[in-house]
Amino acid sequence: MKTEVLKSIKKTEEEYRQQIAKAGLEREQIIANARLEADNQIAKATAVAEDYTKKRLVDARSEATKEKARILEEGKQQASVLKERGRKRMKEAISLLVERFKEKVHVTA
């Protein structure tokens, strides 16, 4: 009877050791899977962030190009207006210049 009880205890201990070893292996597998999943999530998030950054850069460049074109057009229009004003007053300017020149010539002569 004692030997049977001892055998039963040893058998039960062996079963528990096997269960503990199996649980340890499962735990390691679960941890490895979790790490792999975390790495995949990080890689995915990084790719999404890079795509977003690239899109935002493209959008910003596009907006900058549009703004540049608008500013250049506005500058051309202002230059055109100034040229036209200058042309309209060119005769006055020439007359004033000639008049001032005549005054200087008469003063020094």
pLDDT per residue as tens digits for the range 28-79: 999 999 999 999 999 999 999 999 999 999 999 999 999 999 999 999 999 9
CA–CA dist 97, 94 (Å, integer): 5
pLDDT single digits (tens) 32-44? 999 999 999 999 9
Alpha-carbon gap, residue 16 to 10, rounded angstroms: 10
> 107 pLDDT band (50/70/90 cuts)?
low
DSSP secondary structure of the chain? -HHHHHHHHHHHHHHHHHHHHHHHHHHHHHHHHHHHHHHHHHHHHHHHHHHHHHHHHHHHHHHHHHHHHHHHHHHHHHHHHHHHHHHHTHHHHHHHHHHHHHHHHHHH-
pLDDT, residue 77, reads 96
Mean pLDDT of the chain: 92
Residues above pLDDT 90, as percent of the chain? 66
